[in-house]
Amino acid sequence: MCQGDKHNLLDCLEGNVTNSHGTSLDVDCKVLDGPAVVQFLVPGTCGTFEDYAKEVFLPYVVKKLDTVSRIDIVWDVYKSDSLKNATREKTGCGTRRRVSSSTKIPGNWPSLLRNNENKQKWS
């Protein structure tokens, strides 16, 4: 099995997304990789997860609606016997934290995202 980064597929895919006139296709829907969005939208000065949702995550998603009528957000599931889970286990499990709207944002955001149990509570 070959491993790689999702972003490496973009050049290949973008070259194939044209209509018969050679221009980019109009789209009605965008699909967002939920964990990737959470990874690159760092909380900054947000104090709680509710602040993060209202001030960072939701404004990002709503802005994407400027050009489409629908947004789908896909969230990963790490099954215990999957290759993806085995790879994740090699990178460490991070800090376990109960996530709720009033929970304070941890100082080490990447550590929170490495723990699968934290993600299960979000979805």
Distance CA 83, CA 57 (A): 29
Strand positions, DSSP E, 9-117: 29-33, 70-74
Q: Could you give the CA distance from residue 99 to residue 112 in angstroms, rounded to a whole number?
A: 10
**What is the value of pTM for the model shown?**
0.65
Q: Which residues pair with 74 in a beta bridge?
A: 33
Lowest model confidence (mean pLDDT) among 6-20, 27-41, 42-56, 71-85: 6-20
Dump pLDDT digits (tens) for 73-103: 998 766 777 776 666 666 666 666 777 889 8
Domain ranges of the chain: 27-122
